[in-house]
Amino acid sequence: MPEVKSRLLQSILKEQKRRAVKDRAVYEELGVPQQTYSTWKAGVIPRPRQFPAIAAFLGVSEDDVADMAREAAETSPSITPITVARTYGKISDRKAGKFKFEPINDGRKRIPEGRYAIVIDTKVMEPVFHVGVKAWLDPSRWPALRDDVLAHSGGFAWIGRFEGMSNGAVQLGRYDGSQLEVKNVEAVHVIVLSERVVTA
């Protein structure tokens, strides 16, 4: 949890304590998944569509919840959903820049749906992405030409610069000038943020 809790988070936690209930009772009453409630506790600000349920839970007006959310956004701009994203995928072929994605939550789905992070353990994207840096991806953003992306297919994903898409195949470029085509693509996720390595 963040060191400084917003007034909104403090209110939710105080009400939970007053009722003497566990997290599950709270997130079920609020109608949100457990992961969403956990991100709120980590400092993520709830979305406006969740304000009515929060207002009912706290016994206050939706306007009060909106004011507290606005206040939280103004006082803690460094806390964003992307920074608490879970890390997925492991490198399976360094030379090809290929990641393996295990089934998520004991299911068969291998493609993360929300924002997530990867650790880049390949040199194929140097000098932009160095080995060991973390990069965050946003599945909701449609890739534009030359965006750095992961192209998912069959439980694997390849990293590269988005060069185009046709007939279910994605063309990727690499910073060393090489090209790669990924066939039967199920998803293309854009890298929206990454760590930088400072070299001496």
- Find the Cα–Cα–Cα–Cα dihedral 22, 28, 29, 34, rounded to 10°: 70
Q: What Å distances lie between residue 76 and 10, 32, 44, 65, CA to CA?
A: 14, 23, 10, 16
Q: Give CA angle at 72 (69, 74), nearest 5°.
A: 110
- Domain identity same for 131 and 72: no
Higher pLDDT, 198 or 19: 19
Backbone phi and psi for residue 162, each to the nearest 5 degrees, phi listed first: -70, 120
Is 200 part of any domain?
A: no
Does the pLDDT at position 36 exceed 70?
yes
- Domain identity same for 90 and 165: yes
pTM value? Answer: 0.58
CA distance 181 to 151: 10
CA distance 129 to 194: 8
- Domain identity same for 56 and 74: yes
DSSP secondary structure string, 177-188? S-EEEE-S--EE
Structural domain boundaries, residue 70: 7-80
At residue 198, the pLDDT reads: 45
Mean pLDDT computed over every residue of the chain: 85
What digits encode the pLDDT tens for the residues 141-196? 889 999 999 999 999 999 999 999 998 899 999 988 899 999 999 999 999 888 87
At 90, the pLDDT band (50, 70, 90 cuts) reads confident
Is 1 part of any domain?
A: no
At residue 53, the pLDDT reads: 92
Is 2 part of any domain?
A: no
Closest C-alpha among 196, 44, 90, 187 to residue 134? 196
* Residue 6 token pair: 């917003």
At residue 81, the pLDDT reads: 52
- Domain identity same for 138 and 61: no
Is 31 strand, coil or helix?
coil
Contact present, 88 and 112 (Cβ < 8 Å): yes
At residue 26, the pLDDT reads: 92
CA distance 65 to 196: 37
* 7-16, 71-80, 106-115, range with the lowest pLDDT: 71-80
- Domain identity same for 161 and 185: yes
- Domain identity same for 91 and 74: no
Q: Are strands 187-194 and 148-153 parallel, antiparallel or unpaired?
A: antiparallel
CATH, residue 111: 2.10.109.10
- Domain identity same for 44 and 110: no
Last residue of a domain, one of 50, 80, 110: 80
What digits encode the pLDDT tens for the residues 37-64? 888 887 778 888 888 999 999 999 988 9
CATH, residue 21: 1.10.260
At residue 181, the pLDDT reads: 96
What digits encode the pLDDT tens for the residues 102-140? 887 666 678 888 888 899 988 899 888 888 888 989 888
At residue 2, the pLDDT reads: 41
